[in-house]
Every structure is written in structure tokens, then in C-alpha cells.
Structure 1
Amino acid sequence: MKYSFVIPCYRSEKTLGKVIDEIQAKMSEMNHQDYEIILINDCSPDNTWGTIRNLCSKNENIIGINHAKNFGQHAALMAGFHFVSGDIVICLDDDGQTPANEVDKLLAKVIDEDYDVAYAEYAHKQHSGFRNWGSHVNKVMTEVMLGKPKELYISSYFAAKRYIVDEMLNYKGAYPYVIGLVLRTTRNICNVEVNHRERTEGASGYNFKKLLGLWMNGFTSFSILPLRIASYGGSAIAFIGFIYALYVIIRKIVAPTEYLGWSSTMAVLLILGGLILLVLGLIGEYVGRIFISINNSPQYVIKNIINYDSVENKN
């Protein structure tokens, strides 16, 4: 059985070598020599691509992929998936926070217990407060929008059977969202508790803008629930407006000389105007993404590939 490690890389010139060393040591300890490591440089501004080239020159089983521009972590994963040849695919981070030396726990769930996907779950997360908040919002979003079971913990460290990855590759949209692709393919998913390390170098690449974009990808690509919520909300506001109109008419009949407030009228107009703009923006987001998909916008653009021919010929 062959294993494929897929690692999106961004600002990891100082940590990537340690992650590779740890993978190699663990595979040697498990007596598994048939594996490959796919490193995707997502147009990192530091010397990450130089580090990847150096690693590839020393190891024929390491494939280096260089993006022409930054497409994001999920697009980088999709790029790596196109080059895997293993029976089990393992995805992890490039910063060393996800322990590669505990990959046997994930593999045991997928191989021995026949789960399709095994996600790492952390008892004590070492992320910053902002990143933990973002993870919580993402958790709620996937539960509400994508139907993720509440007891299931989703992380960037997971192992999946090859057929799951092959099915995910059928998605050709410009905005891939790996969690959504997994959940729409299978529900035979489990968690495995592993340690989560402190970050030794740099900071998380996820800021508020990137997290917001990730959430938008999640619910606009895999759910129409926001549109339904907008429809229900609009219906509810319309009903309330109708009741209020009846109240105004009856009040005018009962007390014709009473002056009705201008401020309350403006408040209603502002609320309705804001709601209309919100719904129009939401519809525009869906339409815009449809337009981009019709124009065949790429998920990623690969500038360079290292060692792929040698790995392909070796297999």
C-alpha cells in the first residue's frame, strides 16, 4: 500500500524541512518505504520554493509544485490531489503544528477500521485566539450550511482513501472547499485525538479577509440555504409590514387628528432598504460565482513542477 502526503506551503522556508524529516522518520519507523510527499508552494513571498527545490533534489519521492500566484490553501490541496498516486492520502500543515509522527493513528482508522476519512482532533489547540474564533465560526457554518454532524471535528490534518480524493477531483468550480467536498462524498468519517503543537516560526496565514472568503466559498458553493433564509426572512418582514399597515390604518380611523411619527416611518424604510440590499448582495454573490465558473476560471495555475516525471516513471 502506498501513501501520499499532500502539504500546502506558505511562508514555511524555516519549518518545512523539519516536517519532511518527521514524515521520513515515521515512515521508516513503520517500515513503510512506498510513499510520496507532494509540496505545493502557494506563491509564498519568502524562499519556500527554494526550500522545496532543495528537498526535491535530495529526495526523488518528493514532488514540488509551484503556483503562479496565491490561490489559497484549499486550491493548493486540490492541485496536490491531481498528482497523488497513493492508496491513502494524508493532508497536513507545513508549520509543524500538526504532528506527522502521529500519522499512524489516522492510518489505523482508515485502514484497520475501514473509515473513509479520519480527521485529527486536538484536545488542546495551540492556535491564537483569533484563529480559534475563526475555527468556531467555521464549525457552526459547516453544521448549519453543510449538515456536518455536531460531534465531528474538522481540521487540516486528515487521511482519506484514494476514491474519496478521486471523487473530490470531479469538482471543477473555481472556489474549492475541501470540507464541503468531503461531506458531500461520504459520511463514514471519524476523529482521532492527536497532539497540537505550538507554532515555532511565523504566524498563521489566515487573516479576517481570508477567513471570510473561506466561509463564502463554503456556503455559496455547497448550499442554497442562505437564499432560503433570505426568502423566509423577506416573507416574515413582508408579513410584519402588512400587520403594521393595518395597525396604521385602524389607528388613523380611530384617531384621525393624531399625527403619525416621521421617525418610525424612516426606521421602517431603513430596515427594509438594508434587508433588500443584503438579499441582493447575496444573490449577486451566487450569480457572480456562476459567471466565474462559466468562464472556466482556474482553481490554480501551476508554474513549475519538480520530480513528477521521475515518480511517474518509477511507478
Structure 2
Amino acid sequence: MNQRVEFADKAREKPLLSIVVPVFNERAMLPLFVKRVFPTLGTLDVCWEMVMVDDGSTDGSADYIKDLVTSKPGVRLVKLSRNFGKEAALTAGLENARGDAVIIIDADLQDPPEHIPAMVDCWRTGTDVVLMQRRSRAGETLFKRWSAHLFYRLLSRTSRTDIPVDTGDFRLMSRMAVDILLQLKERNRYMKGLFAWIGLPTQVIQYDRDPRAAGDTKWDYPGLVGLAIEGLTSFSVSPLRWATIIGLLAASVGALFGVWIVVKAMVLGVATSGYPSLVAIISFLGGIQLLSIGIVGEYVGKTYMESKQRPVYVTEEVVENPHRRYQSSENPQAGERYVKAV
């Protein structure tokens, strides 16, 4: 950090709030996002910066953000070299955020930015984590709402970490919480679990999630299933125990079935048809074995990927205006009062 930047940091008289925004092919949403977020930030009695992480977008999102950097105070672009996934983009945003508090929010506006002032108020009372809990999920199918409801409760019941239900990435974290989180270096990252793992004083605010205002969701059902498996295997060994229990039950059923066949033949004199029962037993046990191998493979694969020690992401470039690093909200009508680097 050069002397000009150090002077700018010291010149801040108010706390600095960082807004981390992961972006992947959200060109249609970005103008709407900016239109709603900037007025909201203008009502806060803080300095703020916005760290927008482009996760390998191919629709011109990065170019739009670059133009935004030159025209809006406090905006910074962190462009990744390719699409690394949302968990990696969040990590990149948190590592580049300089604020005394950090808010994570998606660009799709399903998490209303109008809740940001309430989050900041909670943080100023001494809370390290302000957790936004979804009370409703507008614009989603019944199956998606039901499956999400089931997954969050299954994860909470099986995990050794108390992971709050019905929560996403929309939250505020103090600088201490962010610094602790950045000490966690695993490559297979399930951020919702990592957020919960750090603990610290937490306050929950319930809100109603809005439907997406424009564009299409980037999460299809296979992706959501993969994320669910990642969450279950990252914070719990329960699937391994389930495989063991299912194996014991299968072996017990097979043994009892074998005893029943012997009793029928020797006591009751009933002949047993071989092929149907044999096929049923082999199919059942084969399915159990494949399921168990798949579960063990998930954990072995995680260990393999962790052993490579590859970086979570690669940054292609960081774009910011050094003379407009932070935006102050003391006079939101003017919109031009910011801390200058000299």
C-alpha cells in the first residue's frame, strides 16, 4: 500500500462499509441493481465502497462495471480469469474488501438492498454478524421452496456446526468476523457453513425475498443438488454413518430372509423359487454397495482436491479509481463528497 492510499485510509473519519457483489452474466440486472443500491447507501452515515467480483461473465458485465468505476465513486472491479463458481467469487470479494464491516448481496435484487440500513444499525450496536433469514421466497416454484426447506433443516440436523435455516449469503459481517473467515483455507468451500462456523455474536433479521427483476437464474437443479451435496459432506460425516447403518440393515434383512427360506423349506415344505429371490437380493445389495462407495468417494475426492493446494481463484485484473476510493454519504443529494487520495 503506497503513501497516497495510506493517507486516504487515514483521512476517513467515518467507518467504512464494504459491499461485496458477486456477478456472473448479470448485464441485464446491473443497471437496476445500481439504481436501487446507490440511493440506499446514500442514506447511511458511513463511507462505503462496492467490490464487484466478475466471475468470468461472457455477457459484457465486466465492461459495464468498468464504466461504472469511472463514473461512480467507491466502485471497484475484481475480474476473475474464468468462472470459478460463486463460493470462489465470494472469497475473492471478501479478500479485497477493506471495510470495517462487509455486506454480501447478490446482483439479482432478490435480496432487497433497502434492508442494508437496518443491518448497519444492528452492527453499530456491537453485533459481529447480522444474518438475514428468509421469511418467504417469492417467484420460486413450490418444488424449489419445498426442497430448499427440507435441505436447510437436514443440513442443520446433521452438521456439527449450527447452520441457521433459511439463510443465504445476504448478511453483514464485522471486520473481525471477516478476518477470521479468511483464515479458513480449504479449497472446497461451502460459504454458508463457513459463515456459521466462525460463531461470534449474531443477530437475525427476517425478510421477504423478492422475485428476480430481470434475467435468468444461474442455478439449475443439477447445480443446486451439487451444492447440497457439497454442504452435507463439507460439514458433516453423517452420510458415512448413514451408509454404515444402511449396510447393517441390508445385511440384517438378507440374513432374516435366508433364515425364512430355510424354515419354509424344512418345516413347511414350501419350495423356494431361486431366480426371482436371488435377483432381488443381488439388486438390493448391489445398490447399497454402490451408494456407499459413492458417499466414500465424495470424501476421498475432497481430500484429493485439498491435497493439490491450488488457489481458490485467479484474479485477471482489479480496476478502481484511486482518486475515488470511498464514497461518503453525508450529503446524498450532492453525491460527490468522497475521500480523495492526494
Q: Which runs of 5+ in 1 are unaligned?
A: none
Alpha-carbon spacing, 1:133–1:45, altered in 2? closer, same or farther (3 Å): farther
Q: Is the 8 A contact 1:4 1:88 kept in 2?
A: yes
Structure 1: how far apart are the matches of 2:228 and 2:270? Answer: 53
Alpha-carbon spacing, 1:154–1:57, altered in 2? closer, same or farther (3 Å): same
Shift of 1:203: 1.5
SS at match of 2:52: strand
Number of residues of Structure 1 aligned to a counterpart in Structure 2: 313
Q: Is the 8 A contact 1:146 1:180 kept in 2?
A: no
Structure 2: how far apart are the matches of 1:172 and 1:122? Answer: 29
Shift of 1:12: 1.6
SS at match of 1:35: strand
Aligned equivalent of 2:19: 5
1:48-101 alpha-carbon deviations (Å, 9 max, x no partner): 111111111223521201122212222211111111111211011102222212
Alpha-carbon spacing, 1:44–1:50, altered in 2? closer, same or farther (3 Å): same
Name whichever of 66-75 and 255-264 sits farther off: 255-264
Alpha-carbon spacing, 1:232–1:166, altered in 2? closer, same or farther (3 Å): same
Alpha-carbon spacing, 1:150–1:164, altered in 2? closer, same or farther (3 Å): closer
Structure 1: how far apart are the matches of 2:241 and 2:140? Answer: 34
Letter of the 1:104 counterpart: P
Alpha-carbon spacing, 1:202–1:134, altered in 2? closer, same or farther (3 Å): farther
SS at match of 1:278: helix
Letter of the 2:184 counterpart: Y
Structure 2: how far apart are the matches of 1:298 and 1:140? Answer: 31
Aligned equivalent of 1:206: 219
2:137 is the counterpart of 1:125 = yes
Q: Is the 8 A contact 1:146 1:219 kept in 2?
A: yes
Alpha-carbon spacing, 1:150–1:64, altered in 2? closer, same or farther (3 Å): closer
Alpha-carbon spacing, 1:211–1:308, altered in 2? closer, same or farther (3 Å): farther
Aligned equivalent of 2:39: 25
Letter of the 1:75 counterpart: A
Structure 1: how far apart are the matches of 2:57 and 2:144? Answer: 20
Aligned equivalent of 1:45: 58
2:279 to 254, 266, 279: 266
Q: Is the 8 A contact 2:24 2:57 kept in 1?
A: yes
Aligned equivalent of 1:84: 97
2:115 is the counterpart of 1:102 = yes
Shift of 1:132: 2.7
Alpha-carbon spacing, 1:314–1:141, altered in 2? closer, same or farther (3 Å): farther
SS at match of 1:29: coil
Name whichever of 88-97 and 58-67 sits farther off: 58-67
Shift of 1:280: 0.3
Structure 2: how far apart are the matches of 1:40 and 1:150? Answer: 25
Percent identity reads: 24
Q: Is the 8 A contact 2:51 2:76 kept in 1?
A: yes
TM-score after normalising by structure 2: 0.83
Q: Which runs of 5+ in 2 are unaligned?
A: 1-14, 327-339
Structure 2: how far apart are the matches of 1:308 and 1:302? Answer: 18
Alpha-carbon spacing, 1:250–1:22, altered in 2? closer, same or farther (3 Å): same
Alpha-carbon spacing, 1:150–1:84, altered in 2? closer, same or farther (3 Å): closer
SS at match of 1:171: coil
Alpha-carbon spacing, 1:141–1:7, altered in 2? closer, same or farther (3 Å): farther
Name whichever of 250-259 and 3-12 sits farther off: 250-259
Structure 2: how far apart are the matches of 1:309 and 1:170? Answer: 28
Alignment of 1:130-149 (within 5 A): 131-146=144-159
Letter of the 2:140 counterpart: S
Alpha-carbon spacing, 1:148–1:17, altered in 2? closer, same or farther (3 Å): farther
